[in-house]
A and B are shown apart, each in its own frame.
Chain A
């Protein structure tokens, strides 16, 4: 039963995960929360781990949730389930590539849907962030200072484009620095 639930959940995430890594987070969050597979805190921790390890965030979450809920085969199953919709859809696209590119280019239904989905995806990412603003993740005022500093440094290259801002805004560096800060403040 658990295997079936894992499979259905991650198949769904793969099927509706438009717009890449961050957009997929709100889908994963909803699934793991509804099933009680992970606490809020554990979810944030695994996103942090995903940011500093290689590979797509969706695969990382699927493997982790699968393993912690149902062991090794759970992780294999969840990872397979998140990839399966891609396999079905992309292979169909590949097989009909020339037919599709002629029919869909300039098609208003297709282009407008893609455009609107881009807007919706922004909302999905925002909701993923909003759902994580909870006392378990923000334990005191210092948490908000860390949040503000990391947010500012990440946005900085949009205004000031040079080598220094690019280096300082790197997510891995920021997570490592936040970890050191946490160790110094709370340790």
Chain B
């Protein structure tokens, strides 16, 4: 079971570009449709949990499925399989990157890539705001959060903790 989970996640981890969310449909095909390790409904519950819990979604889902399918050994296999491909690839790149960066051609290419990366971070905001069903009033939350971090240099950790505390107090007060 250790090896099977390891191999399944290793394959998915090696071939999915674009991070955790891009992995989910592949995990579903492999774990639900092909192997039948868990059923559709449990898989959807798993996604909800993996997203609600802190941490990387790909890792969270690996832990859940590893546990349901093979207990401790399953968790070890799935997590190692999910982490190892990107670990090895980035390690190889990190070893070479500082030398490559000295090359004028690479430096020129990165001058074009850097503003593109900022756009790739900023553009999904549109979709995120839409799917969170943001209103003019609730839009204040991300605006304040962004300003605190950007201009106030507040650590995002405090912003997250403040969100949780304020929400819990507000719900408690409204319940009365």
A interface vs B, CB < 8 Å?
12, 14-22, 24-27, 30, 41, 44-45, 47-60, 63-64, 67-68, 72, 75, 79, 82-83, 85-87, 89-91, 93-94, 101, 108-109, 112-133, 136-139, 143-144, 146-151, 154-155, 158, 171-172, 174-175, 178-183, 185-187
Contacts and interface: CB of A to CB of B under 8 A. Distances in A.
A25 B118 CA distance: 11
Interface string B147-176: 011100001110111011011101110010
B150 A147 contact: no
Contacts, number: 348
Interface of A is mostly: helix
Interface string B1-39: 000000000000111111111010000000000000000
B56 A58 contact: yes
A89 B144 CA distance: 29
A94 to B, nearest CB: 4
A125 B121 contact: yes
B113 A147 contact: no
Interface string B33-64: 00000000000010001111111111110011
A146 B156 contact: no
Given A59-B86, A147-B118, A48 B134 contact: no
B146 A87 contact: no
A130 B150 CA distance: 7
Contact of A187 (B105, B113, B141, B164): B105
B108 to A, nearest CB: 4
Contacts of A53: 17, 86, 89-90, 93
